[in-house]
Structure 1
């Protein structure tokens, strides 16, 4: 993975309720649980933990996180 995302950077992603917007919280490189879901991240397949303005948490592959359009 390239390091095109930094903590605090604005991103958006597809959510069950539509397009969600938030910020990158951190890069995950080991298994973890977010909202009761297993995140199978590892050093060769990292994911990014993201957070909405409302405090919702999720993890996504970097390719699933386009930067918001102005």
Structure 2
């Protein structure tokens, strides 16, 4: 079941699967309009927003729909 928009927010620690591997990162901001990313177009909208993420291991940025992500709870007190 996909998480609703309100479940993830700025600075939440999340994880997702990429090419068969677990990837961790931090939510930087919501993207709610079509935008150009490094080498592709992010097809986001207000109805289907994406999140801009910063990957933990590499520091690179990624834009993903929220469905494949889950909160990891890292850094919670």
Q: TM bucket by the smaller chain?
A: 0.7 to 0.9
Q: How does 1:43-58 map to 2 (within 5 A)?
A: 43-53=46-56, 54-58=58-62
Scaled by the length of structure 1, what TM-score is found? Answer: 0.84
User: Are 1:61 and 2:65 counterparts?
Assistant: yes
Q: How does 1:1-70 map to 2 (within 5 A)?
A: 1-16=4-19, 18-53=21-56, 54-68=58-72
Larger Rg: 2
The count of corresponding residues between Structure 1 and Structure 2 is 70
Deviation of 1:58 (Å)? 1.1
The gaps in structure 1 that reach 5 residues or longer are none
